[in-house]
């Protein structure tokens, strides 16, 4: 949302300037003075507002497209990585039967040590 903040600020600022310009030089003043400069400034402000609105729309569209695309790809990669890690751990650990035999051997040796100590 931080990328949309500046275009929104620009649009709001330009709308406020255009409203102030319109009320500062209303149609009665324009008719009485008949100055082309006021019309030119009014058109420039409207063009700036249209440009800022187009920039805002472009930014919103790009942000929506960018935010939706990588999310699914990112989570797919995470899931695949976790599966690969699980498979690697299972394949690199000793087999369960071998672990049980080692544990039984240790228990037998501990029992013999206790017998010899008594």
Burial class of residue 52 (count of CB atoms within 10 Å of its CB; 0-12, 13-18, 19+): buried
Dihedral through CA 95, CA 101, CA 103, CA 109, nearest 10? -150
pLDDT band at 113 (very low <50, low <70, confident <90, very high): confident
- DSSP secondary structure code for residue 95 in this structure: P
With vertex at residue 38, the alpha carbon angle to CA 36 and CA 57, rounded to the nearest 5 degrees, is 120
**Global confidence as pTM:** 0.52
Structure tokens at 97: 């039967």
pLDDT of residue 50: 93
Q: Give per-residue pLDDT as tens, 7-63.
A: 888 889 999 988 888 888 766 776 677 777 777 888 898 999 999 999 999 988 988
User: Between the ranges 53-57, 66-70, 71-75, 92-96, where is the mean pLDDT highest?
Assistant: 53-57
Q: In whole angstroms, give the CA distance from residue 42 to residue 22.
A: 8
């Amino acid at each position: 949302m931080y990328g949309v903040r500046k275009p929104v600020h620009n649009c709001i600022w330009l709308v406020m300037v255009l409203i102030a310009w319109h009320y500062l030089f209303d149609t009665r003043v324009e008719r009485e003075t008949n100055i082309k400069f006021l019309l030119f400034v009014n058109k420039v402000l409207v063009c700036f507002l249209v440009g800022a609105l187009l920039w805002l729309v472009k930014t919103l569209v790009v942000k929506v497209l960018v935010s939706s695309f990588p999310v699914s790809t990112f989570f797919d990669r995470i899931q695949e990585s976790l599966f690969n890690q699980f498979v690697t751990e299972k394949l690199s650990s000793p087999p369960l039967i071998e672990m049980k035999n080692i544990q039984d051997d240790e228990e037998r040796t501990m029992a013999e040590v206790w017998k010899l100590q008594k």
